[in-house]
């Protein structure tokens, strides 16, 4: 059973076995959260990314975490969809990012994994829809990862994730609870 945590903070400071970066297809680093993780992990991360890339949108690939602080051992690079209005498979590509990251984490024996809000920055994916996809995909996955931490960079992002999680779980004991079943 995977426990989902929602936090507000910097993904480079999370004490999880692995962290996910919202990369571009080259895996050689960029801005946003990718830039922050590459700065924290050091230049070897871009070199390792160049060796295994390119990575297709919706896929995920792992490298060591290099200079990121313990216990982080792995960086899982995933490439989100560029938002083009919603009619070009963006939702499925984003769901695939979360699914593939969990699959790669399982292959590595990762027990705790931190995700940023993939694709909601430069790639322009609407935050609420992205949060619903993130939460639904993690809840629906059959992964051995024991703890998934969804890391929002700001309060608004955290509120959106918490609302998405709450919408999946009817209030315990409420009449909606039984109706929802
Ligand atoms: N910790 C946690 N979350 C962060 C951090 C951080 N240090 N820095 C940024 N974020 C958040 C942003 O606020 C946003 O909600 O990460 C989310 C994803 O935004 P981006 O980093 O812009 O990623 P994305 O929208 O997927 O665009 C990827 O941007 O940096 C380039 O190389 C990257 O081309 C790729 C594109």
Instruction: Report how far residue 162's alpha carbon sits from residue 72's, in angstroms, rounded to the nearest whole number.
Output: 25
- Count the neighbouring beta carbons within 10 Å of the beta carbon of residue 86: 12
Give the torsion sign (CA, 152, 49, 39, 111).
positive
Q: What is the pLDDT of residue 172?
A: 63
pLDDT value at 181 more than 90: no
Residue nearest to atom 10 of ligand 1 (CA): 33
Please name the residue ranges forming H helices in 74-150.
Answer: 90-108, 127-140
Distance 8 CA to ligand 1 centre (A): 14
In the predicted structure, residue 175 carries a pLDDT above the cut 80: no
The answer on pLDDT for 91 being more than 60 is yes
Mean pLDDT of the chain: 94
Per-residue confidence (pLDDT) for residue 169, from 0 to 100 = 72
Domain 3-180 class? alpha beta
At residue 1, the pLDDT reads 79
- Give the separation between CA 179 and CA 131, rounded to whole angstroms: 24
Predicted model pTM: 0.94
Angle (nearest 5°) at CA 9 between 5 and 13: 95
Distance CA 87, CA 70 (A): 41
Query: How do residues 113-157 score in pLDDT, each as one tens digit?
Result: 999 999 999 999 999 999 999 999 999 999 999 999 999 999 999
Looking at residue 173, what is its pLDDT? Answer: 57
pLDDT band at 171; cut points 50, 70, 90 = low
Question: Quick one: which atom of ligand 1 is closest to the CA of 32?
Answer: 21
Q: Which residue, by CA, sits nearest to atom 26 of ligand 1? A: 119
Q: Which atom of ligand 1 is nearest to the CA of 10?
A: 1
pLDDT of 70 reads 85
Quick check: 169 and 142 in contact, CB under 8 A? no
* pLDDT 10s digits, 29-73: 999 999 999 999 999 999 999 999 999 999 999 999 999 998 999
DSSP 75: E
């Amino acid at each position: 059973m995977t426990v989902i945590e929602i936090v507000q903070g910097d993904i480079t400071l999370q004490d999880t076995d692995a962290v996910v970066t919202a990369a571009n297809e080259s895996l050689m680093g960029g801005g946003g959260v990718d830039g922050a993780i590459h700065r924290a992990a050091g230049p070897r991360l871009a070199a390792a990314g160049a060796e295994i890339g390119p990575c297709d949108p919706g896929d995920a690939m792992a490298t060591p975490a290099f200079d990121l602080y313990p216990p982080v051992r792995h960086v899982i690079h995933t490439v989100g969809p560029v938002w083009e209005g919603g009619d070009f498979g963006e939702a499925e590509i984003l769901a695939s990012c979360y699914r593939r990251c969990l699959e790669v984490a399982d292959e590595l024996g990762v027990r705790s994994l931190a995700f940023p809000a993939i694709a909601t920055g430069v790639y322009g994916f609407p935050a609420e829809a992205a949060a619903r996809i993130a939460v639904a995909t993690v809840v629906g996955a059959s992964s051995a990862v024991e703890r998934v931490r969804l890391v929002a960079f700001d309060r608004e992002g955290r509120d959106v994730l918490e609302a998405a999680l709450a919408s999946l779980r009817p209030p315990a004991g409420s009449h909606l609870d039984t109706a929802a079943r």
